[in-house]
Structure 1
Amino acid sequence: MAAPLSAWPWENLGIFKYVLYGPLAAKFLYTWIHEDSLKDLWCLHILLISALRGLVYQLWSSYNNMLFLTRNRRIKQQGVDFKQIDSEWDWDNFIILQALIASMACLMFPYLDALPLWNSKGFFTLLLLHVIFSEPLYYWAHRLLHGTYLFNHYHSLHHSSPVPHPFTAGHATPLEHLMLCVVIGIPMMGTILMGYGSTSMVYAYVLAFDFLRCLGHSNAEVVPCEIFNKLPFLVYFLYTPTYHSLHHTEMETNFCLFMPLFDAIGNTLNTNSWRLHKKITSDSGENGRVPDFVFLAHVVDIMSAMHVPFVFRSFSSTPFSTRMFLLPCWPPAFTIMLMMWAWSKTFLLSFYNLGGCLHQTWVVPRFGFQYFLPFATDGINKHIEEAILRADRMGVKVISLAALNKNEALNGGGTLFVNKHPELKVRVVHGNTLTAAVILNEFRKDVKQVFLTGATSKLGRATALYLCRRRVCVLMLTSSTERFQNIQKEAPADCQHYLVQVTKYQAAQNCKTWIVGKWITPWEQRWAPSGTHFHQFVVPPILSFRRDCTYGDLAAMRLPLEVQGLGSCEYTMERGVVHACHAGGVVHQLQGWTHHEVGAVDVDRIDLVWDAAIKHGLRPVSGVNDGSNIHP
């Protein structure tokens, strides 16, 4: 049986827990509309403070996940994984709890609604009461929570998060947050009862309290050591993220709320606190650990641009889909997009560890539609080239190009950069070999005919040549006879007749296996017979228009189970799943291959790359690798 006050009473409500704010909103609106008065302003204040508190935590979360700003100031180098994100999903429960307690206090003491807007004496009194009562009270309560019984039944939940994060500050049991209510409430109520209270004081204290809690749980050091060098006494009056992080690793030290002075008095101060703080801040100008592998991604559109950890961490930890709550965020996202264009720099987006190697995702600040603007070609290639050269200078082993970054019309699948810089040490990989392997391993051995759109693209060509070698008839949709004949000549002489040029979708009206390499409209899909399965390697995916047909996912592979620090989904992919071109670069790096994989796909290497991926623990998402597919 769970200990009392160790679980939230509304933990099964999910998103409907926010209905608990409903009575506050209803009471304020009722008096405003029906009684034509604002006598229940305290309801509005509680709602505003709750919203502002959530904003404080969100802004700190965003900053912590801006790896392009914080990567050299990180205290713990591992990333926040899906397990921790799920555990901290309801981090804001305490805001609801304290809002309910505040509303009860306002009902019991009606004069709280009549506080003046400002009282300068109140701020000094509040600070004095905080130092005299709140700091020592929290210190001793915190030490009690580290007793065997209280820790096992209550406080261990807070310490279960391996990587400090602003949301970790709210990740605790109801008992702990009730204790925090007392810690926060004593100086505020004391100041109000002494006649020095004000509305601005309440706002300032609660938000400052949350700000400092987020500061301590930040995994990026933000307090410069120069402050302590010039004002040494401050080390006892302001803790730092490094200081508090030591409490999560050496739990018998650094118990204070915000002031290390009380750890010094209680003889629990970790002597390594300021040495480690100085080391982290002094090393912040260095590049840190060099990644072994980089995946160079791009943004599809403004909506998907918000599917990044530094916007909403929980949203980025699930596969992308357009949600209603994103619509109000569209204007600021568009503004930030313009700022990114002006900055014109590749951003570090996320990272994870696999096989002892550091894998990072960088993103080019360009959107999908820009790749199809003729006048934007040079600018985009310049960004990609700068990213490759930067990776080369850093000592990165492999850089893999995402879908549009390796567009044939843009740079010949990466050939442009390899030819321009023959001295490159970093290996440039388009990953299309594994993408082709993933698509081909979705087919079963009994497939005799397929219909292929985008037939003369890199992937279309490789797929067609591979299938014709397996004696599968490929209906290649293309209007260019010359390009079709060039591909047909690459096939063995006894297999060339398996490649058939078609120019209309009507030619596939009896073929139930479609491979979509070029976007097709619902109108074009109507030519597929009932029961057709649409395999695809087109970005964005085609619309699932036909209810009597099935649609495959984009070519992707699941990363090995031992991957560490992965906490965001790659576009519409499931957790732990990456696009095949991303996985192709991972395999290239794990295998230690020293060649560039650019330009046309080498059909003879498709099976080799597939076997290497399976050997390293990557698994297909679509299809079943049970020996019944087309792979021999």
Structure 2
Amino acid sequence: MENIWCLHILILCALRGLVHQLWSTYSNMLYLNRTRRVSQQGIDYEQIDHEWDWDNFLILQAIVGSFVYLNFPSLANIPLWDVRGLISCLILHIGISEPLFYWMHRLLHSSHLFPLYHWHHHESKITHPFTAGHATFLEHLLLCVVVGIPTLGTAFIGYGSISVMYSYILAFDFLRCLGHSNVEIIPHSLYQRVPLLRYVIYCPTYHSLHHQEMKTNFCLFMPLYDMLGNTLNTASWSLHKEISSRTSTDERAPDFVFLAHIVDIMSSMHAPFLFRSFSSVPFSTKLFLLPMWPFAFMVVLTMWLKTKTFLFSFYNIRGRLNQTWIVPRAGFQYFLPFAAEGINKLIEEAILRADRIGVKVISLAALNKNESLNGGGTLFVNKHPNLRVRVVHGNTLTAAVILNEIPRDVNEVFLTGATSKLGRAIALYLARRRVRVLMLTKSTERFMKIQREAPVECQKYLVQVTNCKEAKQCKTWIIGKWSTPREQSWAPSGTHFYQFVVPPIIPFRRDCTYGKLAAMRLPKDVTGLGTCEYTMGRGIVHACHAGGIVHLLEGWTHHEVGAIDVDQIDVVWEAALKHGLKPLYNSP
């Protein structure tokens, strides 16, 4: 019987963790609930770190449960079901646990106890299901008492059952997560039809007011006790009506949109609505992801049927709302010829939607601006000449970042992907700096076309090569096209690989160094950012993302599509630095 009791505790811990995780998933599905969010601010890295150990209370309560069994082994003999137990449990909760929590909560807000204990919970500015478990040890002990009275009390009076234990504890966690979810799911019409219900069960709006005005709304789940204690916030029901009645027309349009895409199956699990803590750190393949790969693969394939982009994350910069929208396509799908038309249609619809709702700038990520797909965005600008939204590929800043990472004393570089938009701009810029550029391309026609764009006195610095072997003496490689281990093997020891290829190349050479994709650190005044962009560190975004932000902050009215204007590289770079974006130097 001892093993059975321990098994129940283990199963309950797993189920309780799952309840919190599912609520977290729903709370972060911005594309489903963005109009009904109580607070429109995003959760930043600081709050995520504060709540990192939110599940400690599960361990504590498991230990307490084991201790109770050791002292009362007869509890292991409770039946599977007893309807009297459910009624008794409900009575004990309403009559003892609810008022006890109410008065303990008020006591924790006293001038003496709050700065010692309860401040820890209230340092979370935006409520989230994990915020429910974010508390001090004393608060968790008090919560053990609140939870234990209905469950153990029912058992001690002889009406206990396994079903009561499971149903009450899981319902308790469910309602706690509901109140902290920051998403209003209870329709106002329900409270209007059954007015008594508003005093029986609270809602996310009700609890969020407690985090804003801490002298009100102290109840556990039943606002009845706030009414009896004269601590009911008078704005509770009017604010609930306002939030639950919102529609998409009431939603604030973002100033800037970064149109991203899924890179691969593994990185698709880096989404904040899956594992919030995992998405708040740079992506890397973890062992716990491997069992979920088949499921993620099926989801990605299912998303092929999705015909609209969806909201992924958002943050604010100097009062400007920035959003990331995701095209529901993975990287490998961009290289399927029959998928090109459908992908372009998705991108076009996203641009038109952004134009319709009043977005000022939309920036295209990596493969969404592929030259062979849509000519770096020119397809959409030519097709819709009256667009108010500015379409930006951000490659000008990407080129600027790469070029400013290359040391000034470098006099020769080897460039793959040399005839792409970025390759062309990098080659022409370096030629102007009197740097010899070995351009890997088998197309003499394309090489000559680029060479003729350079000033006459600089054309000699552009040299066509047809294989990697010709760069075996060059220690600066700029990779714009996927590079195999054999190709990398021609690089001399000590070579540094700069790159602008998606996905990044695999670092096969241990005697060489590898730079990351071009990126910039956002200004310090950014708020609400809690997700890392792919493998980038916290507060760092890809250069094409940053390029769109600069376009917005500068108020530029031109589209940045098609070929890169080499004369604008330094202009964009200086503008980025002026607005507080900082470079990340990956050079050795």
Q: Is structure 2 residue 274 aligned with structure 1 residue 311?
A: yes
What corresponds to 1:489 in structure 2? 452
- Cα deviation, 1:583-630, whole Å, max 9, x if unaligned, reads 000100110000000000000000000000000000111258xxxx9x
Report the secondary structure of 2:26's partner residue: helix
Point out where structure 2 has 5 or more consecutive residues left out of the alignment.
Answer: none
Q: Secondary structure at the match of 2:408?
A: coil
2:493 pairs with 526, 530, 533, which one? 530
Deviation at 1:287, TM superposition (A): 4.5
Q: Percent identity?
A: 70
Q: 1:101-151: per-residue Cα shift (whole Å, max 9, x none)?
A: 001111111111111111111111110110000000000000000011211
Matched, 1:542 2:536: no
1:69 aligned to 14, 17, 32, which one? Answer: 32
- Output one character per residue of 1:21-47: Cα deviation in whole Å (capped at 9) or x when no partner: xxxxxxxxxxxxxxxxx6520000000
Q: Which amino acid aligns with 2:564?
A: V
DSSP 3-state at the match of 2:431: helix
Shift of residue 342 of structure 1?
A: 2.2
The match for 1:89 is 52
Instruction: Describe the SS at the equivalent of 1:366.
Output: coil
1:9-408 equivalences in 2 (<5 Å): 39-408=2-371
Q: Check whether the contact 1:40–1:113 (CA below 8 A) recurs between aligned residues.
A: no
Q: Which amino acid is 1:250 matched to? A: E
Cα distance per residue 1:265-306 (max 9 Å; x no partner):
000000100000001011244341110000000001111001
- Answer yes or no: is 1:458 the counterpart of 2:451: no
Q: Which letter does structure 2 place at the counterpart of 1:613?
A: A
Distance 2:222 2:522 in 1: 43
Q: 1:213 to 1:237 in 2, by over 3 A?
A: same
Cα distance in 2 for residues equivalent to 1:345 and 1:212: 33
In 2, the alpha carbon distance for the partners of 1:486 and 1:254 equals 71
Structure 1 portions without partners, runs of 5+: 1-37
| Residue matched to 1:17 | none
Structure 2: distance between partners of 1:203 and 1:362 = 40
**Where does residue 542 of structure 2 map in the other structure?**
579
- What secondary structure sits across from 2:514 in the alignment? strand
One-letter amino acid matched to 1:559: L
Q: Which amino acid aligns with 2:466?
A: T
Q: Which amino acid aligns with 1:303?
A: M
Letter in 1 for 2:263: V
For the 8 Å contact 1:557–1:583, the answer to whether it is kept is: yes
Look up the SS of the partner of 2:246 in the other structure.
helix
1:332 partner amino acid: F
Conserved 8 A contact 1:72-1:286: no
Contact preservation (8 Å) 1:63, 1:310: yes
What residue number does 1:11 align with?
none
Report deviation, 1:375.
0.4
> In the aligned structure 1, how far is the partner of 2:332 from the partner of 2:75?
55
Tell me what 2:390 maps to: 427
Q: Tell me the alpha carbon deviations over residues 165-188 of structure 1, each in whole angstroms, 9 at most, x when there is no partner.
A: 010000000100110110111111
Deviations 1:169-220 (A, max 9, x none): 0000010011011011111111111211110110000000000000111111
- Offset of 1:440 from its aligned partner? 0.2
Q: Distance in 1 between matches of 2:200 and 2:250?
A: 31
DSSP 3-state at the match of 2:405: coil
Contact 1:441–1:623 (8 Å) recurs in 2: no
**Equivalent pairs, count:** 588
CA contact (8 A) 2:260 2:324 kept: yes
> d(CA) in 2 for partners of 1:295 and 1:53?
36
Task: Using structure 1 for the length normalisation, give the TM-score.
Answer: 0.92
Q: Specify the code of the residue in structure 2 equivalent to 1:151.
A: F
2:474 is paired with a residue whose SS is coil
Aligned-partner SS, 1:325: helix
Deviation at 1:441, TM superposition (A): 0.1
Contact 1:218 1:241 in 2 (8 A): yes
- 2:516–2:586 CA contact under 8 A, matched in 1: no
Letter in 2 for 1:244: H
* Paired residues of 1:91 and 1:167 also in contact (CA < 8 A): yes
Q: Calculate the aligned-residue CA RMSD, in Å.
A: 1.1
SS of aligned partner of 2:222 = coil
Could you say what secondary structure the match of 1:149 adopts? coil
Contact 2:258–2:323 (8 Å) recurs in 1: yes
1:42-62 deviation digits (Å, cap 9, x = unpaired): 000000000000000000001
The answer to whether residue 402 in structure 2 is matched with residue 439 in structure 1 is yes
Contact (CA 8 Å) 2:438, 2:464: kept in 1 or not?
Answer: yes
**Distance (whole Å) between structure 1 residues aligned to residue 421 and residue 302 of structure 2:** 34
Deviation at 1:330, TM superposition (A): 1.9
- The alignment partner of 2:329 has SS state of strand
